[in-house]
Amino acid sequence: MYADDTNMTFTACSVEGLRHEMDADIEKLKQWLCANKLTLNILKTEYMLIGSRQRIATVAESLDLSINGISLKKFNCSKCLGVELDEFLSWDSHITSVCKKVSSGIGIIKKIKPFIPSRSLINIYQSIVEPYFNYCSIVWNGISEGLAKKLQKLQNRAA
């Protein structure tokens, strides 16, 4: 058995502090998994650094995280509960993903528009397009003006 989609968060002022925090919590996690008859798939375990471009560039070169001697893979973007987080918290990847899904929904609506009454089209929009604009928007509400304009253009196109 495996514990899927487990996330751990560490903060530290230095690489050594980060390594110390991670090692301590990973040990606690391994003990908990063992006690609950679960295993950690180290080969699928990854990590992501979050911070400014300058800070990540400085830290990333000196950070090599491993568990039981197996190096962990670093990634730049992660999906958590349907929200894509990137290492700079810029929301670029999330908004790009939302735009693709919304564009697809708008394309479907455009194709069926001649055959469906207006009220049904509104219901379809509210079912397959609008949820992407609303889902967890409180989390990514502070997006840049450029990203907000991308979403607004899609909203206008849908209207």
Residue-level pLDDT at 60: 67
Shared-domain flag, residues 102 and 148: yes
Question: Is residue 9 one of the residues assigned to a domain?
Answer: no
pLDDT, tens digit (0-9, with 9 covering 90-100), for 93-108: 999 999 999 999 999 9
Determine the average pLDDT of the residues in 20-46.
86
Would you say 93 and 84 are in contact if contact means Cβ atoms under 8 Å apart?
A: yes
Distance CA 93, CA 68 (A): 32
In whole angstroms, how far apart are CA 70 and each of 28, 34, 50, 114, 150? 18, 19, 22, 58, 41
Question: Given a cut of 60, is residue 23 above it in pLDDT?
Answer: yes
| Domain extent for 99 | 89-158
Shared-domain flag, residues 128 and 93: yes
Shared-domain flag, residues 118 and 58: no
Looking at 47, 75, 103, the residue that finishes a domain is 75
Count how many domains the chain has.
2
Question: Is residue 112 one of the residues assigned to a domain?
Answer: yes
pLDDT, the chain, mean = 87
Shared-domain flag, residues 51 and 95: no
Question: Is residue 39 one of the residues assigned to a domain?
Answer: yes
Distance CA 148, CA 137 (A): 12
Binning pLDDT at 50, 70 and 90, where does residue 13 land?
confident
- Residue in this structure with the two tokens 């650094």, named with its chain if needed: 49
Regarding predicted confidence, which is higher, 49 or 127?
Answer: 127
Shared-domain flag, residues 66 and 97: no
Binning pLDDT at 50, 70 and 90, where does residue 57 land?
confident
Question: Is residue 119 one of the residues assigned to a domain?
Answer: yes
Binning pLDDT at 50, 70 and 90, where does residue 2 land?
low
